Amino acid sequence: MNKDRLKKLARSKRFIEGIYNYCDRWCERCPQTSRCMNFAISEEEFPDPEARDIRNEAFWERMSGIMKETMELLRGSAKEWGIELETTVSIEDMKEMKAKDEEVKNHLLSRSAKKYSEWVEDWFKERETLFFETAAAAREGVSLEEAIEVIRWYQYFICAKAMRAVRGKVEDEEEDNAFPSDSDGSAKIALIAIDRSIAAWATIRHYLDDDEKEVIDLIAFLDSLREAIEKTFPRAREFIRPGFDEIDKNP
């Protein structure tokens, strides 16, 4: 995509600014694709679904092209607005960034969310055959397939968003604790993902009469993670995500 096209898209009124910042990135299930610039770019750049596959090399090459064009745009605008973009990072800055990375990684929320993703991975690995058979047997029970899809979609997403929220908190604490903050937004989408995952696990439970103990443990674990996030970010649920939680005044 060339710079002019990118600029034109950025100016379009049909898009909701920043809608993709606090969504769950599940574009196939998103009710706001027509209002999302991220989606429009990806549709124009990758019309062939295979080309959109993140494992496809072409994807990364194009992404890198988009990134370069975006940086050029940013630099151009910075010059117009008289802003000096930081081009060098000192060793001190790098040390500080590394220390913060460690703090985020070792935070209880990050560790718990990571534990959940690994647990889900092990759980599915152990039951691969069983699930294949159950899903095939319950052909009409699309809900089982959907439940698996939901759990798999959010398995790593929860951890990524919880860590982003923690990072914001680690950095915000040195400044002020204003609301709404990016941490609140990230915590909110992590909470939504947890809510949906709990519902999906509850669906799976119905299909596993004699193997439900671990499912209940997983649900309980997710529930305690949800509580911990709510305690750490008490206003997260109030966060208004553009395009999803507010009444759209420009349909």
Residues that bind ligand SF4 (CB under 6 A): 19-20, 23, 25-27, 30, 32-33, 36, 38-39
The CB-of-169 to ligand SF4 minimum distance in angstroms stands at 23
Q: What are phi and psi of 244, to 5 degrees?
A: -115, -40
Closest CA to 173 of 104, 89, 86, 236: 104
35, 199 in Cβ contact below 8 A?
A: no
Q: Measured from the CB atom, is 66 or 135 closer to ligand SF4?
A: 66
Give CA–CA dist 3/8, Å, rounded: 9
Q: Measured from the CB atom, is 49 or 82 closer to ligand SF4?
A: 49
Q: Measured from the CB atom, is 144 or 150 closer to ligand SF4?
A: 150
183, 169 in Cβ contact below 8 A?
A: yes
Residues 6+ apart with CB under 8 A from 117: 155, 156, 158, 159
Give CA–CA dist 148/125, Å, rounded: 13
Q: Measured from the CB atom, is 90 or 250 closer to ligand SF4?
A: 250
Q: What's the token pair of residue 44?
A: 């124009």
The CB-of-30 to ligand SF4 minimum distance in angstroms stands at 3
The CB-of-15 to ligand SF4 minimum distance in angstroms stands at 9
State the burial class of residue 177 (Cβ atoms within 10 Å of its Cβ: 0-12, 13-18, 19+). exposed
Q: Measured from the CB atom, is 6 or 144 closer to ligand SF4?
A: 6
CA torsion 204→157→50→19, rounded to 10°? 120
The CB-of-57 to ligand SF4 minimum distance in angstroms stands at 22
Residues 6+ apart with CB under 8 A from 90: none
Q: Measured from the CB atom, is 30 or 200 closer to ligand SF4?
A: 30
The CB-of-34 to ligand SF4 minimum distance in angstroms stands at 9
CA torsion 6→12→14→17, rounded to 10°? 70
Radius of gyration of the chain (CA): 21
The CB-of-240 to ligand SF4 minimum distance in angstroms stands at 14
The CB-of-232 to ligand SF4 minimum distance in angstroms stands at 24
Q: Measured from the CB atom, is 23 or 144 closer to ligand SF4?
A: 23
